Structure 1
Amino acid sequence: MAAAAILVAQHGVGAATAQIAKQAGVPHGSIFTYFETKAELLNRTYLALKAELTDTVIEAVATEQVQQAQLRRLWESWISWGVHYPVKRRALGQLSVSDQITPETRAISYAAAKPLVDLIHQVSAGGSLRDLPKPYVASLVETMVTITIEHMSDNPVQAAAISASGFEAMWKALT
């Protein structure tokens, strides 16, 4: 799955299983010993990446803090993961928009992130987004994180200011 993530980050979901096997240092056919299809490999890679990101963020969000502090820790840990693991972030981005990822896989990922989605929903409960579906509001936050990481990567000298401004923009959008 690590090899799949690298090649999906570089070539998208069209990366050939032969390339993935070569990257993993295994014979091409052995991929299908572990995964029945390429789609299964992509879905399991997506789940592994989402689980890593979700676990990282959940661990960082302390429940005894006020909501703004919790949301700030969510933001900072998500940003940090994305900055420190650009290949994983790019692979996750490619997989997230792929029709190869099944609704069941997406539902599993969403369920694992429920504490984070609930926090975002609680923060937005009094704002203009309060009546919108939780997945939509969570997707807005995800998009803001992604854009912030991209601009931080393009402007490393201003990375801290970009992150801080991104958080303030998200906070204002939610509240």
Structure 2
Amino acid sequence: MARPRSEEKREAILAAAMELVAEQGLGAATAEIARVAHVPHGSVFTYFGTKSALLNELYVALKTELSETILEAMPGDGDVREQLHHLWVCWTGWGVSNPSKRRALAQLGVSDQITEASRKAAAVVAGPAVAVVNRARSTGALRDAPLAYVGALVETMAGTTIDFILHDRGNAEVVRDAGFEALWQALR
């Protein structure tokens, strides 16, 4: 009879994969992931089946964490600028507080190993945040641009802002606020 799977081991494997993808990229070896997770190498495959399945679960988990952070305490349906500002502050704050998670997510986001199903699952969780961006751009220069393109612009602006904050924490608030104003002007 097979032993029951441990949620603790599964989470340790995901955490190790996140750390190593952030440091080494998508070529991080499953043997190294197992070593960092303090589990036997075969456990990676017991819990995830394939490395690709592991990377897809990690992608969805990181996207879900980011989305939940953004959506927590989101202001009501009123002022779109206020909602977008909340989104921006939470997103950049998450990225600054979790640089390894952000680097891993960036690597995974451009990987052809991430399936359409995983991208759709992450998009469902992010749906309310995407709706805020869509409302913000509804009367601006980007109103007719594909939403995926607008989302990529927002993501790039957030990433650039996070990078600058990480390199100059003394100006974090100034950079964050300037990034938001640039985003607002781009969308409106």
Gaps of 5+ in 2: 1-13
Tell me how far 1:65 sits from its aligned partner: 4.1
Counterpart position of 1:135: 148
Aligned identity (percent) is 49
Tell me how far 1:155 sits from its aligned partner: 1.1
> Structure 2: how far apart are the matches of 1:38 and 1:64?
41
Contact 1:60–1:74 (CA under 8 A) maintained in structure 2: no
> Structure 1: how far apart are the matches of 2:98 and 2:183?
22
Gaps of 5+ in 1: none
> Larger Cα Rg: Structure 1 or Structure 2?
2
Match of 1:60 among 45, 68, 73: 73
Counterpart position of 1:96: 109
Is it true that 1:25 corresponds to 2:38 in the alignment? yes
Tell me how far 1:60 sits from its aligned partner: 3.4
Write out per-residue CA displacement over residues 111-163 of structure 1, whole angstroms, 9 at most, x where no aligned residue: 21111111101110000100112121111111100000000111111111111
Letter in 2 for 1:165: A
> Structure 2: how far apart are the matches of 1:114 and 1:17?
32
- 1:62-81 to structure 2, matched below 5 A, reads 62-81=75-94
Contact 1:47–1:109 (CA under 8 A) maintained in structure 2: yes
> Structure 1: how far apart are the matches of 2:76 and 2:25?
37
Counterpart position of 1:118: 131
Letter in 1 for 2:140: G
TM-score (normalised: structure 2): 0.91
- Where does structure 1 differ by over 2 angstroms across 4 or more consecutive aligned residues? none
> Structure 1: how far apart are the matches of 2:138 and 2:144?
8
Write out per-residue CA displacement over residues 47-85 of structure 1, whole angstroms, 9 at most, x where no aligned residue: 000000001101132115411111000000001111111
Counterpart position of 1:36: 49
> Structure 1: how far apart are the matches of 2:69 and 2:78?
17
> Structure 2: how far apart are the matches of 1:29 and 1:133?
43
> Structure 1: how far apart are the matches of 2:169 and 2:97?
13
Query: What value does the CA root-mean-square deviation take over the aligned residues?
Result: 0.9
TM-score (normalised: structure 1): 0.97
Counterpart position of 1:85: 98
Counterpart position of 2:17: 4
